[in-house]
Structure formats: structure tokens, C-alpha cells
Structure 1
């Protein structure tokens, strides 16, 4: 079960730490001729060019914090031991985090103190951005891990989506064999499969076999999509290449992926003698509303399509012109893919058999 995630406001970001202060002092102190101190939000010295001062309160730093302004001390105070210098408040996200103090004549050290203060603030900002980025990456990973493993709930997923600022509609997709650079913010790679959750549809990854989820407005629908993708991802042969996705039938693929192996073997017998060429013909017929549309997809002459349909009927005993028998033939084809007897959803096969998406300029037969 994926629990409640801490919000960004609950994370300590941009806080002045002893580590950051010490790094600044160790880097800058050897390069300047003035004593340097960094105090935390309580006015306690947490880093100094004089190690003996560590842990002691700094009077001018306390004033700088309480008055929220730069404190300039022109004269030494023999009673308190306070030396001349400049103490500049440190800010991160508009909040005072500490004080930078440089000892020396104010006219000599004022600019240096301001410069060091800006340097520390820059480090705090960088640290804050890094922490926020890390927190967000962890939140994304937790959310997708819940979807992939099936441990997510509607309530938890809705809360995670809101915290991440991912607005509906959402789509959940599964990409295989994509070796390009990481280009998705909400993505998780497991066993060479990349799960991608996006606000709206993702750009079609033409270089990968993929299942691109439809837009969803309810987290519960994403949970159903995740279950289906887990099922299909377990049988990579059923995941189509880009040029074949319009011929691919998700319901058929899911049925084949979920069916017992013995039942798939029974279904596969119907098309045991069918070639890959004829299998693509069946896919094109099922994805087309007319034979003319199937011809355009297959880039064949009408007589060629008729000859193929006749041959399929002769070999299988089922007529692909009859919708019910065409569906039975398709179920058998998907069962053969599920059993590893066919590999028709690879892009190389599409090129071999001349398939192309509808909408491209037709060639003369």
C-alpha cells in the first residue's frame, strides 16, 4: 500500500547547515585577510576561521536576526570583546536562515560580507532545488511503483497526482525497446520496460514498441490501465511496434495474455497453417471498415486481397469476410503470438509485408 507522501512544505529545504557553513568558511577564509564567522538562525557561530569561537553566540548576529537588517559595528567594545565588523542576514525562500559576519573596519569588509552572504544564499538555493527535485523524483517513483506493483489505491493515487501537480486527463503508457534519452518527467523503468504517466497523451514514440494509454479523468481508470499493462508487459510479443498499433486489438491481446496456455494451443490450431502475410491480412481486415480501406493498408491490388481471403478460407475453414469468423481467426492469431509461434508485431515484419498506416499517400497497385 502506497502511503501518504510528505508535501514539499513538509520537507526541510534551503536550511543553513553546519556542512554548508563549514564549506564556505574553508573555501573563502584562506583567500581573505579578515576573520570570518557564519551563525545559524539562533545567532550561534557554526563555522569560523577561528575554531575557538564555534558554539558561542554572536551579539551582532543576534541583533541582525532580531532586527532583520545588516549590523555595522565601527568601534570595538572592550567590555563584551566585540570587534569592529559587518554582520549580514542570510535568506533562503524569503526566510532568514542565519548571519554572515566579517571582522574588520566596516569600510573595508562591508562589500566582502555582502558577497559572502550572496554566495551562501546561492548555495542554499541550489541545495533547495536539489532537495525539491529529489523529493519529486521519489514521489514519482513511489507513485509509479504502486501502479506497476498493483499496490496503489484510488485515494492514494489521487493524492499523489495532486501533490505532483499532474492534472487530468492522464494517460498511462508502457514502452518497450526504447533506447533514446529520458524525456518523460513521470517515468519508471523496470526490466527494460518504461512506464510513463503524463497529463494528456504522450508523443508517439516511433522508435519503440508501446501501448499508449487513452486519456483518463478518474484515478480508478488508471488502476485498471495499470493492471492491463502489467498483463501485456508480461508477454512482450503482444506489444506492437509504432507502425502496427492501428492494426492491434487490445482486447484480443489481453484475452490471449490471460488465457491458459492449453486453451491458447487449442485456439492456435485454427490458423496453424497461416503465414505471416495472411496474418497481416487478417489484422488489416479487422482494423478496416471496408475492403478498400484494408487494400490501402496492405498496399495490394483488390484481386490480391480476394485471393488471400480465399486461401485463408481454404486452409482454415473460416471465411474472413464473415465478421464472426474473422474474429475467431484473429483470436487464433493472437494465441499463436502469445505462444511464440508468430512475431507479427515487430516493425521489421511490417516493412516486409508492406503495411502502412491509413492517411499516407496511396501508391498505385
Structure 2
């Protein structure tokens, strides 16, 4: 597939309003046929040729030099599985790399659509990129404004942030993302101001909200459709208060924390950030400090022995410190229960029957389990 230079110029003109860096468009011979820097049109570029041959993004910096190239990234443009061109962004790698995906996707869509206006390119892709930007620690406000305008959405409207994840423990992986996208899109079809994106880990929804709006029935239908069509049970984490301009990242973090805790404790349905208690401490504790506390209590004990201790400790907790009822729960004699509690005290240095030690043990057991959960979720 050969790209006409006129189309290449129109693509470059469309993209240049999105970022403040030079854009170069290469044909499959590695020749620049359109650029925001006219002086570079007609020059060849070995980095672009490598991107064409390998189908992979090629970075150009002090450590990776190519003839005819300046610092930046060069991304292969794919149409129907083949490289049809390369689009490059000139600048420092760390500065321009975050724009790579959106520029490449915009280029591919503009090529497929015969270089129509950017507003015509896929709404899902724009929502994906907008939500990604809104949930970053820092983002380009002009790019956010551009995408919001293209989507004709007002970011000042209150929205409820919801994070959907597979309910099962282990790596959170969402199968058949195209089906998931269709399910969510259908359920949100009557709410044009709502935004969502589907990723390999799940789905994030920014749901148009007002005081009278209850999204619970919609989330229930999405959950039912996921189970019926894909055989996947999902859960939802909901932020504490509505997000508006400037608070999307914070509300997204709240919803993500609620969803993550739901998965950790094995709870289904909808979990709200405002209902979390000990989870606020556990999920916000830096991993290094959590591991330090766990190691201080359990030392070199094996995971198997810690799990055995946890079973005894949980029964003791469930029955509010009653030796007799905890022993019944574990089908053991109460003397055996006392011996096992004593073993925990001897092995850890913390006595479950002493209130101050109990608090430390309870947190240590939770952190040990949560650290394992986080590791398995990567």
C-alpha cells in the first residue's frame, strides 16, 4: 500500500495540532514525504528503514545513531497487518515517547479513513487516550482539551469513576477485549457524556452522574453479560465522590483501590472506596515497609508455616478470642488450640492473647497475604 504525499501532508497537518514537536512521515523506502519541518522532506532515514523492516518502534538518541536521523522515535504504521509507512516524532525520547501510541493510532486511522478529520477517528481510541491522560500524574492540558473537544465532552460534568476487574485472584487479565468493549458500549449507549476504556487488565468507566443517577443496575447488567458471554465473573470498585476537572486521577485511584481490595478479600459485586477501613492502611503502605513489618513478625518462617498459623489466628479472631469455639471451628481439642496459640507466640515473639500483640499479628498476617496477592497480580 503506497501513501500519496498529499494524504501524508494532510495527516501531518492534522497531528501537528496535538503535540508541540516536529512530525515526520516516511514512505516504505525510508524517505520523508511530509514533515512539519519542510527542510527535511526528501531526505532518507536509516532509523525509519529499520522500523519498516522489523515492524517495531526505533528510538534515536545518543546511544542509537542512524544516518540522516535526529533524536526522536520512529513508529511503524500498520494497516491490515502490514507496515505501510513510518511516523516519527522529533525530540528528547522521554519527552516524546508518551505521545507515541496516540500519534501512531491517529496516523493509522487517518490512513484507513483516507485522511478525514481527526474528529472522525475511532471514539473508543480517543476515550482510551483521554482516560489514560486524565489518570497520569501529569499530563498535557492542551492534549486533554483537544481530545475532550473531539469527543464533545465537558470534563467539568460530575462523573462517577468505576473500575471493573476479573474477580478471580491471580494476574488480572481481561479476555476478548473487543467483546468487553461492545458490552460496555451497549450499556452506556444512552449516556453520551460517559467515557470508558478497556485494557488487558479490565475496564475503567467515567460515568456521567448527578444526584438522581444510580449506575448500580447498569453495572449489574454489565456483570451479567460478562458472565453469560465470556464466562468471566467481574467486580467493580467505585470512587468516594464524583470526579470533576482536576480530580479524575484521585478518583480513579480510589476506585482502583476499592476494586483491588475486592479481589484480595474475595468479595464480588460493587465495592465503594468510602466503605474501606483497614484497607486504607494496607493498600497505602509502601511495599518496602509492609515487607519489613511482615519480616519483623514472621522472620524466616516458611509460607506454609505462616499459612498454618494464619488458620489458627483467623479462627481465634472469628470467635472473638474464645478458645473453645475456635477449637470447634478447627475440629481440634481446646488444649491443642491453646498449644497452637502458644506456638505462634514462641515463633513470632507476639502473643495472640495479648491485645497489643494481637493488633500487630493481625496487621502482619494481612500484609503478608496482601504482598503475595500483589506479587501474583503483576
Fold conserved (TM > 0.5)?
no
Instruction: Give TM class, smaller chain.
Output: 0.3 to 0.5
Task: From the CA coordinates, give the structure whose radius of gyration is larger.
Answer: 1
TM-score (norm 1): 0.38
